[in-house]
Amino acid sequence: MTTEIETDLFEKEALVYIRQMDVGEVSGLLPPDALADIDDPDDLFMVFSADGQRLAIVEGRDAAFAACHANDLNPLSVH
């Protein structure tokens, strides 16, 4: 007996990856004054699609996960 294995898991689910970024990494991606209103620039997280495309920069880990869930995305944390 063989068991059918689900091979297209990543195609069915909208998986995204969340990674904390330092100010140096983020500042090169944004206009010069974009970080002026950020309360804690050391608390920035970037959301990436499964293929590595940058989707969002969010202040705070909880906010990044909430933004993903609000958009029907399944976030995974990358360390």
DSSP line for the chain? --------HHHHS-EEEEEEE-HHHHHTTS-TTTTTT-S-TTSEEEEEETTS-EEEEEESHHHHHHHHHHTT-EEEEE-
What is the structure's pLDDT at 36?
85
Residue 26 lies in a domain: yes
Number of domains in the chain: 1
Residue 55 lies in a domain: yes
- Mean pLDDT, the chain, whole residue set: 84
Q: Between residues 74 and 36, which one has the greater pLDDT?
A: 74
- Tell whether the model's pLDDT for residue 40 goes beyond 70: yes
Residue 8 lies in a domain: no
- What global pTM score does this model have? 0.76
Residue 2 lies in a domain: no
- Tell whether the model's pLDDT for residue 5 goes beyond 90: no
Residue 51 lies in a domain: yes
Domain that holds residue 23: 14-78
Residue 66 lies in a domain: yes
Residue 9 lies in a domain: no
